[in-house]
Amino acid sequence: MQIPYTVEARPDTGLYNAKLGIWLFLASEVMLFGALFSSYVLLRTGAESWPRGSEYLNIPLATLNTMILIASSVTMVMSWASLKLGDFRKYKLYMGLTVLAGFGFLIVKYFEYTAKFAHHYYPSTNTFLGIYFTLTGLHGLHVIGGMIVNGYFWGPGSKLWRRDPERFANRIEVAGLYWHFVDLVWIFLFPTLYLL
Amino acid sequence: MSAHDVEAIRRQTRTYVMVFAALAVLTVVTVAASRLDLNPGMTIAVALLIAAVKGSLVAGYFMHLIDERKAIYWLLALTVIFFILLMFLPLGDAADSIGGVPTPV
């Protein structure tokens, strides 16, 4: 049996099914990160004192990571646009760059985390570091998840392009929506944890 | 795909590059603004305002929300309502203890 509405829009929603599906998933993700942001606000307003992020965290490295992630969002959307223009080679280039940017982000994060541990800063050290490791750790897991999906579509998953190019372009759009969401979360994490 | 569609996608790719440039500049502005000697309330307001502008650019252009179906807008409106509840309901609980320990009922 063929999966319905993978390319053409459903008459009632005006969307192909996967697109509505990913937006529903992202809505649940908003609530997941929203709960943690809410916890952060509650912990901060209830604390007698709260450190500035710069007392513990490396702002230049986090700024570099912000640049890496927004650059990866551009390469991601360019990979989708390349498919829409029928240029598969450019798709491979942009998607490859997106996956590499994900690696770059995680490598920078690795250096950040190891520097914290070298200074004996752990999630149990204080409330600020507890929420910092929780939020950035959960975000990092989302980056890894996105890289696995993007890596699959860069490699074996890209065979679908030959059989059903429209469907493959839709898959990349859906993967892109997730990846941009991960970027969006970081855009709020960066000032909240590092700069305030 | 028609020639018109191809041209529309080409125009979009130019927009993506401009949005990237705007996001990069705003990132630098965020870091610079955090080093200004503003009062804490203003520092938080400026940082969150810039983050909101950056977030809107990503959602609007990269996630194509500036030109999306109504079903998505309704879904997101519902998400925003629940997100606001999630953010502010716990603060209501915290506000109970302002000025001292709340009296047990």
Residues 6 or more apart from A111 whose CB is under 8 A from it? A61
Of A39-43, A86-90, A116-120, B53-57, minimum mean pLDDT range: A39-43
Share of chain A above pLDDT 70, in %: 100
Q: Taking a C-beta distance cutoff of 8 angstroms, is the pair A56, A128 a contact?
A: yes
Q: What was the pLDDT predicted at B99? A: 64
Q: Tell me the pLDDT tens digit for each residue of A13-27.
A: 899 999 999 999 999
Q: What was the pLDDT predicted at B66? A: 95
B50 neighbourhood in chain A, CB within 8 Å: 191
Q: Tell me the pLDDT tens digit for each residue of B37-69.
A: 888 889 999 999 999 999 999 999 999 999 999
Decide if B43 and A196 are in contact by the 8 Å CB cutoff.
yes
- ipTM higher than threshold 0.85: yes
A186 neighbourhood in chain B, CB within 8 Å: none
Of A15-19, A52-56, A162-166, B91-95, minimum mean pLDDT range: B91-95
B83 neighbourhood in chain A, CB within 8 Å: 30-31, 34
Please report which confidence band the pLDDT of residue B101 belongs to, taking 50, 70 and 90 as the band edges.
low
Instruction: Give Cα A167 distance to the centre of its chain.
Output: 23
How far apart are the C-alpha atoms of A53 and A116, rounded to whole Å?
13
How far apart are the C-alpha atoms of A100 and B57, rounded to whole Å?
23
Please report which confidence band the pLDDT of residue A46 belongs to, taking 50, 70 and 90 as the band edges.
confident
Residue A45, pLDDT > 90, answer no
Residue B77, pLDDT > 80, answer yes
Decide if B86 and A13 are in contact by the 8 Å CB cutoff.
no
Decide if A195 and B31 are in contact by the 8 Å CB cutoff.
yes
Residue B102, pLDDT > 90, answer no
Q: Tell me the pLDDT tens digit for each residue of B23-35.
A: 999 999 999 999 9
Locate the chain B residue with the closest alpha carbon to A19: B72
In this predicted model, which residue has the larger pLDDT, B97 or B35?
Answer: B35
Residue A66, pLDDT > 80, answer yes
A41 neighbourhood in chain B, CB within 8 Å: 87, 90-91
Please report which confidence band the pLDDT of residue A139 belongs to, taking 50, 70 and 90 as the band edges.
very high
Share of chain B above pLDDT 70, in %: 90
Q: What was the pLDDT predicted at A130? A: 96
Decide if A183 and B13 are in contact by the 8 Å CB cutoff.
no
How far apart are the C-alpha atoms of A186 and B103, rounded to whole Å?
40
Question: What is the pTM assigned to this prediction?
Answer: 0.93
How far apart are the C-alpha atoms of A193 and A57, rounded to whole Å?
9
